[in-house]
Amino acid sequence: MNNSQSIQSEIKRFLKFFFQELKPQGKWLTPFNIITIPIIIVGLIILYFRFTEGLGSVTNLSQKYPWGFWIGFDVVTGVAFAGGAYIITFVVYVMRVEKYHSIVRVTVLNGLLAYIFYAGALVLDLGKPWNIINPIIGNSFGYNSVLFLVSWHFLLYMIAEFIEFSPVIAEWAKFEKLRKILNSLTLATVIFGITLSTLHQSGLGALFLMAKPKIHPLWYTEFIPILFLVSSIFAGLSMIIFEGTISHKVFKKLIDPKHHHSFNEIIFGLAKGAAISMFVYYFFKALIFVHGKHWDLLNDFWGGWFLLEVIGLVLIPCFMFAYSVRNKSLGIIRVASILSLIGIILNRLNISVITFNWNVVDKYIPSWQEIVVTLMVISCELWVFRWIVTRMPVFEKNKNY
């Protein structure tokens, strides 16, 4: 009796607290709000037409281009960018490198939100989204499909990320007992999450294995899954550098100065990791290029495009990272992280959209509605991110932790 009563009062307290926290803090008319609110409103209007008139009414998808910007950018690229979470949890919880502990929470939060929003964007692209439960509840398990694997992994990974992040929520809501229980789950969910990550990062590449006759031979290889996995490492690391640099400016007040100082050291460590993984990735690309005997393909436009991606946006940022680590130059690291992020966007879009059916005359170009909806998804994610970091102990460390 006593126990249930106390739980009831706890829940009551939490609900009151929660509604209090829901209220906006600070000024309303910030530049960020002025930009994102119209985008979200327009995006919602576009989505209304998308769900009443069909995908064709707002997208430029066609029978030759069944997957466009929403899949190629939101899902395939977004998930690669979220790769930082599994790298950092690996380094901190499995390898016990304490140096990176202070960025674990924000990285996991970023990963979780990226999965919720970008993998969630998949639902917008489905023709019959209400049937999305079919592969999950088990009335039609398509085990033979790579997409089956990827969708299950998205689901499980979101749960794992949520559990990894949940101690922060418990801390915020002052559920002391629950926090201890959730904390004890961390290592198990981290290991589970890393395993899932390796599989669905590569699985996103494996989706395109059966599109062999459609993808340009410079990009198609049976090693696409491995390339996706390796490139997700530096995609994730570059994203942490990029995003960390911004949030350290925007949320300066929330971060204690001690952390601010150590963050530079962290960035150099991450840049080192990015340089090494990019070098390995570049070797893989070179090896596959040689094995495929593709020299003659370098002569046309696609050859140049390929070299731009592989040399301009992998090898050059790789050297920039290495140079900046040695010379302790934060500026070059920032430029290098942006370049390598562009390289990842280009690589993922090349495989999923740009060189897909490269010899077809009617090329697919995303419509403005597709881009607005993508911006809407990003805006929504940033809103939720801002809401969480301004309320929950994401940046500052708890004293008793």
Partner 1 sequence: MESYTYLNIFETKGLEYLLLMCFLVLFVFLIRYLSTDKEKK
Partner 2 sequence: MDRRNFLKTAAAISVALPNGKTKAENQNVEKEFYGVLVDTTRCIGCRSCEVACSLEHNLFVPDITKDNAFNSIRDTSEKQWTVVNCYDTAKGKVYVKKQCMHCWQPACSAACLTNAMFKTTDGPVIWRENKCMGCRYCMVSCPFDIPKFEYHEWNPKIQKCKMCYERIIDGKKPACVDACPMDALMFGSKRELLEIARYRVYSHPEKYEPKIYGEYEVGGTGWLYLSPVPFDQIGFRTDLGNTPYPEYTREFLYAVPLVLFGVPALLLGLNMLTERKNEIGKTEELNHE
Taking CB under 8 A as the rule, does residue 390 contact partner 2? no
Complex with partner 1: residue 49 or 283, whichever CB lies closer: 283
Among 94, 290, 307, 330, binds partner 2 (CB under 8 A): 94
Residue 192 binds partner 2, judged by CB under 8 A: yes
Token pair 């731009």 is found at: 308
Phi-psi region of 357 (alpha: psi -120 to 50; beta: other; left: phi over 0): left
290 lines the binding site for partner 1 (CB under 8 A): yes
Q: Pick the binder of partner 2 from 99, 174, 212, 328 (CB under 8 A).
A: 212
Residue 59's binding partner out of partner 1, partner 2, none, with CB under 5 to 8 Å set by partner kind: partner 2
208 binds partner 2 (CB under 8 A): yes
Closer Cβ to partner 2, 367 or 390, answer by number: 367
The single residue listed with the structure tokens 């979470």 is: 85
User: If contact means CB under 5 to 8 A according to the sort of partner, which of partner 2, partner 1, none does residue 371 touch?
Assistant: none
Closer CB to partner 2, residue 132 or residue 287? 132
Nearest to 93 by CA among 160, 185, 168, 190: 190
**Signed CA dihedral, 74, 77, 78, 79: sign only:** positive
β partners of residue 215: 356
Number of neighbours of residue 56 by Cβ within 10 angstroms: 10
Task: Give the interface segment with partner 2, choosing from 201-209, 237-245, 263-271, 294-302 (CB under 8 A).
Answer: 201-209
Greatest C-alpha distance within the chain = 79
Report the residue count for the chain. 401
Q: Which of residues 128-157 bind partner 2 (CB under 8 A)?
A: 128-129, 131-132, 134-135, 139-142, 144-149, 151
List Cβ neighbours of 154 (8 Å cut-off, separation of 6 or more): 115, 119, 122, 200
Query: Distances from the Cα of 231 to the Cαs of 76, 80, 85, 294, in angstroms?
Result: 12, 8, 14, 21
d(CA 214, CA 359): 8
Please report how close the Cβ of residue 200 comes to partner 2 at its closest, in angstroms.
Answer: 10
Residue range at the interface with partner 1 (CB under 8 A); choices 101-109, 236-244, 268-276, 357-365: 268-276
Q: Which does 283 bind (CB under 5 to 8 A by kind): partner 1, partner 2, none?
A: partner 1
Beta bridge partners of 356: 215
Mask 330-369, x = binds partner 2 (CB under 8 A)?
--------------------------x-------------
- The letter for the amino acid at 21 is E
Q: What count of other Cβ atoms lies within 10 Å of the Cβ of residue 51? A: 13
Alpha carbon distances (Å) from 269 to 197, 280, 283 = 22, 17, 22
Q: How far is the CB of 223 from partner 1 (least distance, A)?
A: 13
Give yes or no for residue 184 binding partner 2 (CB under 8 A).
no
Judged by DSSP in three states, 251 sits in: coil
Task: Using the minimum distance from each CB to partner 1, give the nearer residue, 44 or 287.
Answer: 287
Query: How far, in Å, CA of 121 to CA of 147, rounded?
Result: 15
| Per CB under 8 A, 270 contacts partner 2 | no
Contact 205, 145 (CB under 8 A): no
- Encoding tokens for residue 212? 């062999």
Interface with partner 1 includes 283 (CB under 8 A)? yes
> Which parts of 318-337 interact with partner 1 (CB under 8 A)?
322, 325-328
CB-wise, 64 or 291, nearer to partner 1?
A: 291
**Rounded least distance, CB 222 to partner 2, Å:** 7
Binding residues (CB under 8 A) for partner 1: these are 272, 275-276, 279-280, 283, 286-287, 290-291, 293, 322, 325-328
